[in-house]
Amino acid sequence: MNQKKTQQSTRKNKSDNQQNQEQKRREFVQPSEPVLRFLPTAWAKLLYFRDRGQTEIGGFGITKTDDLLYVEDFVTVKQAATGASISFDDEAVADLFDSQVDAGRKPEQFARIWLHSHPGNSPQPSSIDEETFRRVFGNCQWAVMFVLALGGKSYARLRFNVGPGGPLIVPVVVDYTQSFGPSDYEAWEAEYQANIKHTSWSKTFGSQIEPGFEENVSNYSVPDDWLEELEAMEPSERQCILDELADRPDLWSESEVICEY
């Protein structure tokens, strides 16, 4: 009798707990402020790409139809990647966008969230990131710049280009409250191999940036571990870079970030 009672009360507590959890879940997924949310599978893929090599990697967030700040997938395109920069291939981006349209998605779902990683610990956008964001996404009604740093810190900024406009730093959440699929290392690795082309950052530095997508969507910044790279160079190559930097004072704004470490 007593045992039965205990069981009943356990059951009751369980159902109370479930109710509480559901309540919390509802509160969690309906924030009053904009939040950039990631399906855990999409987040895991982003981490896989970030950690796969020692370069920056970039791509686009594919979002839900009814929640344009919910990233369900992270997709990359062919790109030349260095520890300092990524340069998307123009045609590859056009192909990606075409395939997204064919899949029934609207541009708001695949061409508004620009994601890239930094191989150092700072997710702070570089001055070149800012310039790129303005130039490439400035004509969209809204867009998000998202940066994920090696150490796990991230940065997300939503920018409205209509109405009163203006930027808004938004929190980033990996949303475990919804069901999500498993990892797919084989497919991720194949995509990584197909799309990410490592290049020496000294080759793309300065005016030697690859043509093409650089004009539309690109990222280009001083790497966080640039001192190490600089030290590893041949003296003549190093001098060439230093001369380039002297000619490009705008690049040095990044050094403020570097000094924070």
| Residues that bind Zn ion in the complex, under the rule CB under 5 A | 126, 129, 219, 221
Nearer to Zn ion, 195 or 221 (CB): 221
In whole angstroms, the minimum distance from the beta carbon of 129 to Zn ion comes to 4
Q: Which two tokens stand for residue 198?
A: 């490592």
First to last CA, the chain: 65
In whole angstroms, the minimum distance from the beta carbon of 34 to Zn ion comes to 21
Task: Give the pairing type, strands 58-63 and 85-88.
Answer: unpaired
In whole angstroms, the minimum distance from the beta carbon of 219 to Zn ion comes to 5
Nearer to Zn ion, 37 or 116 (CB): 116
Nearer to Zn ion, 72 or 229 (CB): 229
Nearer to Zn ion, 103 or 169 (CB): 169
Segments in the chain forming alpha helices (H)? 2-29, 40-52, 90-102, 107-110, 127-137, 185-195, 201-204, 226-232, 235-247, 254-258
What separation in angstroms does the CA of 118 have from each of 58, 153, 188?
9, 10, 19
In whole angstroms, the minimum distance from the beta carbon of 116 to Zn ion comes to 6
Could you give the CA distance from residue 77 to residue 94 in angstroms, rounded to a whole number?
10
Residue nearest to Zn ion (CB): 129
Could you give the CA distance from residue 41 to residue 36 in angstroms, rounded to a whole number?
15
Nearer to Zn ion, 114 or 188 (CB): 114
In whole angstroms, the minimum distance from the beta carbon of 126 to Zn ion comes to 5
Q: Which residues contact 164 (CB under 8 A, 6 or more apart)?
A: none
